[in-house]
């Protein structure tokens, strides 16, 4: 079997050449005495023309058969500018069926009739579609660009273990039972965090890894239980230098993969600035609609929702939806109210500015002076729609208005979806408090270093302790993040205790790691990028599943292989495991 060219390669310069091609039958068309076949491989499509001498043999050829074709390149009489090979076609001299194919359960083309579950069940067919092949090739280009960049900066690619002990990092662990040590379990890594820090203790200084990670958490469009991250760690470098390396890597990827040169350095927002302006720590900055803090503006307004929120030391914020008052009917505003309620807001207050004045259910609560002050604060003009949320809880106000803002940005087409707007969000809180469990949790992870000036707040004022941490954000998605790490044993133990760990828990769960900090650990920091998410955004996809070869569905199952599946009792006995099948497992 020989192939002289691939199916995306032939051009006018090849006219007159004898060629041998091989590929899948993408389309077969009978036009009188002639038969046209589009022959497809990963490189593209070439049109093959067969004369009447092949009529009988071609009757058995169906879509997705693999053919080997011998022929000569000729100029097309009717050119197709949409195809790279659209100026030529191949006049067949002979062909051979290499393999047949069953009738496929889906159309193998970019415009397919298949539901996602069918696409995932027959993933090998779905991956033949040019769009899917392009997505995975783009993903490859991203990783190639990253490796080139980090290799040139003297980083070392080092693998860390897949099997380690379970540690409380946030999401649930995937556990792997040990046959040798009955009743004991390994855990698949949620990240290489502790090992990459120990590599800094080992003196490697610059490490990276394209790492597989596993988190037993609920799935959504931009999350998978097994995923890939670009993991980077380095010693003896300031935060500014780490961010410079990180954004340099992003710039190289954008240049290599998209042909776009982004402006450096990237914009930086503090976490507090992001929350105040956008209500979210991963803002989409391609459009405005910034939130306005109205606490002082409405402090004396006799509207119960605002009053109750401020009396409980809460917050009132608003958004000015410019020039949309007439466009938004009561029904459309009710839809926005439902979005706010999804995020636990009690409702959505609103006003419309018109030539006749200001109308809306809450207008009656404002004096003329208060209304003028409000309009000035929100830079409101005629035909503007003003939206407000007040609540005792800061996160309710921010979450609900951020969701409305993102909805309006898309609905009103306030940005060009083909643009890419990167930024860093820096100076995160070290901790966040959970009302249900009545304790603090690490905003990033327990190994994040507090800002030097806030170290003493670990015990005295954890709520206002800032971390030397940063996230990189693109178009409203968190691509990844990182921090400077704690490198002193005593400070690491103080951070654990601020999170509620006892010394006994520290020793039993992290003693092996803390021990390593006692042998001359260098100052170090790093970051990790979600490779799947980067690929999703650069490919213009809405789901991670479109940039992963064999993903899981939202039920954390593989429709193709049917994983997970029961295993034989003998296997369980060998591991010393008994399974208590609950009702949901049995019904499955």
Instruction: Say which CATH number the domain at 376 has.
Output: 3.30.1360.30
Q: Are residues 155 and 261 in the same domain?
A: yes
Domain assignment present for 56: yes
pLDDT at 586: 42
Is 532 known as a binding-site position?
A: yes
Which of 233, 192, 245 has its CA nearest to residue 487?
Answer: 233
Both 394 and 438 in one domain: the answer is no
Residue 395: inside a domain: yes
Q: Give the integer Cα–Cα distance in Å for 400 and 411.
A: 16
Q: Is residue 78 part of a domain?
A: yes
On whether both 92 and 149 belong to a single domain, the answer is no
CATH code, domain with 62? 2.40.50.140
Domain match, 230 and 333 both = no
Q: Residue 584 domain-assigned?
A: no
Whether residues 263 and 293 fall in one domain: no
pLDDT greater than 60 at residue 412: yes
Confirm or deny that 530 is annotated as ligand binding: yes
* Proportion of the chain above pLDDT 90, given as a percent: 94
How far apart are alpha carbons 152 and 146 in whole angstroms? 10
Q: What is the band of 588 on the pLDDT scale with cuts at 50, 70, 90? A: very low
Tell me if 246 is assigned to some domain. Answer: yes
Contacts of 252 (CB under 8 A, 6+ apart): 145, 146, 148, 149
Mean pLDDT of 556-577: 95
Among 344, 379, 411, residue at a domain's last position: 411
Distance, CA of 271 to CA of 398 (rounded, Å): 13
9 falls in which pLDDT band (50, 70, 90)?
A: very high
Within a domain: 238: yes
Looking at the whole model, is its pTM more than 0.85? yes
Cβ contacts of 56 within 8 Å, gap of 6 or more = none
Q: Is the peptide bond before 265 cis (omega within 30 degrees of 0)?
A: yes
Q: Is 3 annotated as a binding residue?
A: no
pLDDT at 421 over 60: yes
Same structural domain for residues 353 and 390?
A: yes
Residue 485 labeled ligand binder: yes
pLDDT in tens, 245-259: 999 999 999 999 999
Ligand-binding site membership of 216 (annotated): yes
Q: Are residues 339 and 197 in the same domain?
A: no
Do 257 and 324 fall within a single domain? no
At 159-205, the pLDDT tens digits run 999 999 998 656 899 999 999 999 999 999 999 999 999 999 999 99
Instruction: Please indicate, yes or no, whether residues 205 and 297 belong to a single structural domain of this protein.
Output: no
Looking at the structure, tell me whether residues 303 and 383 fall in a common domain.
yes
Residue 84, helix vs strand vs coil: coil
* Residue 571 CA: distances (Å) to CA of 187, 188, 558, 574: 19, 20, 22, 5
Domain of 442?
Answer: 429-464+488-508
Q: Does the annotation place 456 within a ligand binding site?
A: no
The verdict on residue 1 lying in a domain is no
Residues 382 and 436 in one domain: no
The string over 370-381, giving b where at least 16 C-beta atoms fall within 10 Å of a residue's C-beta and e elsewhere, is: bbebbbebbebe
Q: Which of 99, 134, 153 is the last residue of a domain?
A: 99
- Give the count of domains, the chain: 4
**pLDDT greater than 90 at residue 451:** yes
Q: What is the CATH number of the domain that holds 232?
A: 3.30.930.10
Beta strand 439-442 pairing with 385-391: unpaired
Q: Are residues 265 and 119 in the same domain?
A: yes
Q: In the predicted model, is pLDDT for residue 347 greater than 50? A: yes
3-state SS string for 389-427: EEECCHHHHHHHHHHHHHHHHHHCCCCCCCCCCEEEEEC
Mean pLDDT of the chain: 96
What mean pLDDT is predicted for residues 472-490?
A: 98
Instruction: Assess if residue 496 is contained within a domain.
Output: yes
Q: Stretch 62-78: mean pLDDT, rounded? A: 97
């Amino acid at each position: 079997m020989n192939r002289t060219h691939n199916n995306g390669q032939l051009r006018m310069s090849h006219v007159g050449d004898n060629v041998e091609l091989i590929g899948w039958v993408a389309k077969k068309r009978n036009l009188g005495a002639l038969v046209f076949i589009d022959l497809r491989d990963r490189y593209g499509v070439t049109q093959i023309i067969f004369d009447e001498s092949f009529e009988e043999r071609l009757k058995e050829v169906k879509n997705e058969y693999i053919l080997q074709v011998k022929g000569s390149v000729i100029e097309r009489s009717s050119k197709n500018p949409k195809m790279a090979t659209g100026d030529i076609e191949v006049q067949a001299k002979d062909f051979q069926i290499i393999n047949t194919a069953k009738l496929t359960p889906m159309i193998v083309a970019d415009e397919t009739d298949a539901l996602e579950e069918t696409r995932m069940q027959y993933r090998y067919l779905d991956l033949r579609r040019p769009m899917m092949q392009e997505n995975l090739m783009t993903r490859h280009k991203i990783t190639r660009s990253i490796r080139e960049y980090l290799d040139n900066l003297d980083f070392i690619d080092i693998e860390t273990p897949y099997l380690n002990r379970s540690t409380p990092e946030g999401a649930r662990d995937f556990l792997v039972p040990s046959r040798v040590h009955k009743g004991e379990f390994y855990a698949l890594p949620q990240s290489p965090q502790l090992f990459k820090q120990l590599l800094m203790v080992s003196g490697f200084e610059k490490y990276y890894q394209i790492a597989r990670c596993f988190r037993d958490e609920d799935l959504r469009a931009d999350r998978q239980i097994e995923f890939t991250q670009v993991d980077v760690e380095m010693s003896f470098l300031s935060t500014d230098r780490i961010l410079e390396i990180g954004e340099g890597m992003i710039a190289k990827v954008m240049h290599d993969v998209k042909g776009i040169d982004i402006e450096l350095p990237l914009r930086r927002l503090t976490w507090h600035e992001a929350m105040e302006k956008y209500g979210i720590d991963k803002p989409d900055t391609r459009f405005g609609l910034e939130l306005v803090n109205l606490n002082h503006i409405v402090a004396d307004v006799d509207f119960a929702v605002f009053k109750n929120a401020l009396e409980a030391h809460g917050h009132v914020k608003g958004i000015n939806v410019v020039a949309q008052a007439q466009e938004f009917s009561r029904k459309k505003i009710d839809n926005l109210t439902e979005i706010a309620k999804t995020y636990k807001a009690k409702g959505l207050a609103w006003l419309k500015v018109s030539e006749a004045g200001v109308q809306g259910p809450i207008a009656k609560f404002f004096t003329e002076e208060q209304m003028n002050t409000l309009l000035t604060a929100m830079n409101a003009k005629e035909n503007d729609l003003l939206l407000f949320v007040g609540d005792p809880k800061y996160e309710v106000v921010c979450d609900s208005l951020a969701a409305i803002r993102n909805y309006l940005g898309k609905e009103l087409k306030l940005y060009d979806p083909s643009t890419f707007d990167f930024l860093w969000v820096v100076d995160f809180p070290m901790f966040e408090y959970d009302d249900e469990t009545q304790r603090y949790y690490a905003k990033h992870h327990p190994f994040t270093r507090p800002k030097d000036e806030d170290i003493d707040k670990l015990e005295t004022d954890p709520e206002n302790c800032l971390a030397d941490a940063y996230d990189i954000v693109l178009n409203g998605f968190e691509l990844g993040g990182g921090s400077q790490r704690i490198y002193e044993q005593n400070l690491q133990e103080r951070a654990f205790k601020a999170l509620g760990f006892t010394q006994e828990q520290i020793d039993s769960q992290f003693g092996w790691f803390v021990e390593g900090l006692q042998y001359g650990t260098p100052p170090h920091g790093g970051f990790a990028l979600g490779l799947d998410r980067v690929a999703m955004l650069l490919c213009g996809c809405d789901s991670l599943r479109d940039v992963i070869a064999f993903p899981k569905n939202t039920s954390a199952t593989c429709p193709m292989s049917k994983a997970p599946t029961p295993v034989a009792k003998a296997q369980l006995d060998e591991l010393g495991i008994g399974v208590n099948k609950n009702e949901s497992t049995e019904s499955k």
